[in-house]
A and B are shown apart, each in its own frame.
Chain A
Amino acid sequence: MRKRMAAFAGMALASALALTGCSGSASGTAEGSEDTFKVAAFTAGYGTPGGKSTLDDFVEKGEALGWDVTLYTSEFDYDKINTDVTSAITQGVDAILAGFPDPRQVSPLVNAAKNANIPIFSIDGGVEPNDDFVVDVTFRQQQLAELTVGALEEAMGGLSGKDVMVIGHDPHIGIMTRSNIAQELLKAGGANIAGGEMKQVLNPGTSQEEALKFVTDYLQANPEGLDGVWVGWDHAALGATQAINEAGRDDIFVTGVDALGIAVNEIKKDGPFYGSVFQDWTSVVDQVVGDMDAYQKSGTLPSENFVEVEGTLIDRSNVDGFTPAL
């Protein structure tokens, strides 16, 4: 009994000390926040190469400006993101950075931010103006689709009568938008969509293997039924490329988006991987950091709440002079 009491007292003492420590640190932060510009940054796409490098870049640039930046991440778990950012708002932040948010899934944190009068600056937060964000800087999906479909058209020697597989991922709003635009462009050019409809990757994390299976199985069933594969992002495009290489085919071409280093290497081989689009996220981060800096210094919000920037096609013509960022 005495031992139990001692253990209980020990645990209580430890808990009290821990709580004291926590509260001390919290009060310290709160005091600091009076002078320091506090930013809650979040992304549900930290597991993707673009998501991670962009948010890391933002944190680095923000901290260089003296901001107190806290990064909240998840693996496409918006429930966690909403909870984390909402509690950050409760604790007190000056601004929020939304990294690659799905605007359909962030209502709780948007409402909390509105109630607390905290502006949300966004990177790649959709395909149209959204009043939830004071600014959203993103790449123009129409242009990304046009560039890649154009590259595929060039590789295949036209679109009319060609069989093209389209691989997308609808849960990602940007990929969904450009995939649907690309599919329409392909159809308008007279191409047939292989399999009758867009192939959907279930998990971006395993997309290379999924795309490898899609194309391998499709070629097995339709050896003469494929001229090109349009893919919404490079990781899956690599799987499609591998399937074509393994089938020993040199007359089927693939395009992707992201210009990952590994994709750029494939383009250099003059094989099936014909082109990809480079999205300069560093300049997007610079622009958003600039907007946030102006807000911190003068309370000025950006004049436009939706800014579209353009990507650059990386193909055989310019790949040798290109240094991948991802």
Chain B
Amino acid sequence: MTKTDTLPATTTAPRVRERASISQLFWQGGTIVALIVLIAFFTAMRPDVFLSFGNMRNILEQIAILTIIAVGQTVVMVVGDFDLSVGTNATLSGATAASLMIGGTPIPLAIVAGLCVGLLVGVVNGLLVAFLQLSAFVATLATMTTVGGLAFIATSGTTLYGMPEDFFWIGQGRPMGIPMPIFFAVAAAIILWLVLRFTTLGRRWYAVGGNAEVARLSGVNVRWTRFLAFAVAGLASAIGGIILVSRLGSASSASGNNYMMLAVAAVFLGMTILKSGQANVGGTLVGVGIIGVMSNGLNIIGVNTYIQQVLTGLIIIAAVTLSALKARKS
């Protein structure tokens, strides 16, 4: 009897472990698996097209600007906040640079001015959230609206064009056949990954995001750490916005606004990769990859854009749900 009692226990133990490992794999690898499944699906649908070099380059070019803005958003989400103003900030920064160039300001100076505008928006967000203790949602929602209005003023509601040809190299240049935005995206991702992974500042960001009170008691200046995260997100948005203007050859009053939602979605998707459920650059890149592959693949197989939007929304819901469930589990 004892034998019969103990036998099932010994046989079920590996099964439980197996189940645990499958479950763990699902939680931690689900997003990567989703990306692989999407790539496999679109490859099966259009085997001659989807995995071609040209299309891979296409996808990378299409997600390059989103990558830059999303890695900036990652930093803010590492400290446990989020920035709703990244899209309008990108629009305003790009429009400022474009407007100055059209007015005769030299390209480098105009770009620096655009970057300063983005940084300034980030600084304002940082002050509101870190020092005035406003909710990140309320503060960045307010700056999103204000900055969106400023973008209308900067563009006079119209399309700005006529920037110097040399400026277009940033967004349209193709050294070695690779679009320039891809280089910028790779650089931004590597720099922020290095900062988050190997510097004291990166560890402080994670410490504040993990438990701000414990971080404070450990000697971390929580306010400055959060402030810097918003400043970085502002700067990243400005870089993305300026590249977007160069890529399109024009600046309009809302050209970068959509990037906010996509950037948040990408970071949420990426948060499911780490066991801790924290935002991380690697995960964000996977999230950006999913969004890019979805958009490109659905266009290639001819799916209606309305359905594309529904599917993107469903993916965001799935990602947020996964993150929430994972947070509860941990």
A binds B: yes
List the interface of chain A (C-beta within 8 A of B). Answer: 46-49, 51-53, 75, 195-197, 199-203, 205-206, 208-210, 212-214, 216-218, 220-221, 235, 238-239, 242, 246, 260-262, 265, 326
Q: In the complex, A141→B301 CA distance in Å?
A: 31
Query: How far is the CB of B219 from the nearest CB of chain A, in Å?
Result: 36
Give the CA-CA distance A213 to B159 in the complex, in Å.
19
The answer on a CB contact under 8 Å between A47 and B309 is no
Check if A51 sits within 8 Å of B58, measured CB to CB.
no
CB distance from A256 to the nearest CB of B (A): 12
Task: State how many angstroms separate the Cβ of A216 from the closest Cβ of chain B.
Answer: 6
* Binary contact track B231-267/A, C-beta < 8 Å → 1, others 0: 0000000000000100011101111111000000000
Q: Is B275 an interface residue (CB 8 A)?
A: no
Cβ A242 vs Cβ B249 within 8 A: yes
Take A201-B305, A205-B253, A205-B255 as given contacts and tell me if A49 and B159 are in contact as well, using a CB distance cutoff of 8 Å.
yes
Whether B46 is near chain A, meaning CB under 8 Å from some CB there, is yes
| B252–A52 touching, CB < 8 Å | no
In the complex, number of A-B residue pairs with CB atoms less than 8 Å apart: 92
Are A52 and B158 neighbours in the complex by a CB distance under 8 Å? yes
Task: Give the Cβ gap from B320 to chain A, nearest Cβ, in Å.
Answer: 21
Q: How far is the CB of B286 from chain A (nearest CB, A)?
A: 21
Shortest Cβ distance from A261 into B: residue: B161
Contact of B161 among A53, A195, A200, A262 (CB under 8 A): A262
Please report the C-alpha to C-alpha distance between residue A221 and residue B256 in the assembled complex, in whole angstroms. 27
Which of B52, B249, B255, B309 interacts with A202 by CB under 8 Å?
Answer: B309
Chain B residue with the shortest CB-CB distance to A53: B158
Q: Given contacts A49-B159, A202-B305, are A208 and B58 in contact (CB under 8 A)?
A: no
Considering the complex, give the chain A residue whose CB is closest to the CB of B299: A217
CB atoms of B248 and A239 under 8 A apart: yes
Q: A residues within 8 A CB of B250?
A: 208, 238, 262
Say yes or no for B302: interface residue by CB 8 A criterion: yes
Are B248 and A200 in contact, with the CB atoms below 8 A? no
Instruction: Tell me if A213 and B62 are in contact (CB < 8 A).
Output: yes
28 A-B pairs, CB-CB below 8 angstroms?
A46-B157, A48-B157, A52-B158, A197-B304, A200-B304, A202-B305, A205-B254, A205-B257, A208-B252, A209-B248, A210-B305, A212-B248, A213-B62, A213-B299, A214-B299, A217-B296, A217-B300, A218-B299, A220-B52, A220-B300, A221-B46, A221-B49, A221-B301, A235-B252, A238-B250, A242-B248, A242-B249, A261-B159
The complex places the Cα of A326 from the Cα of B157 at a distance, in Å, of 11
Chain A residue contacts of B159, Cβ below 8 A = 49, 235, 260-262
Known A-B contacts A200-B304, A206-B255, A220-B300; the reply to A51 vs B249 at CB < 8 A is: no
Residue pair A265, B161 in contact (C-beta under 8 Å): yes
Q: Identify which of B49, B249, B255, B305 contacts A200 (C-beta below 8 A).
A: B305
- Provide the B289-330 mask, 1 if CB < 8 A to any CB of A, else 0: 000000110011110111001000000000000000000000
Q: Is B156 an interface residue (CB 8 A)?
A: yes
Residues in A with CB closer than 8 Å to B49 are 220-221
Q: Is the CB of B255 within 8 A of A208?
A: yes
Name which residue of chain B comes closest to A47, CB basis. B253
* Residues of chain A with a CB closer than 8 A to B305's CB: 199-202, 210
Determine the residue in chain A with the shortest Cβ distance to B161.
A262
Q: Which of B58, B244, B249, B257 contacts A220 (CB 8 A)?
A: B58
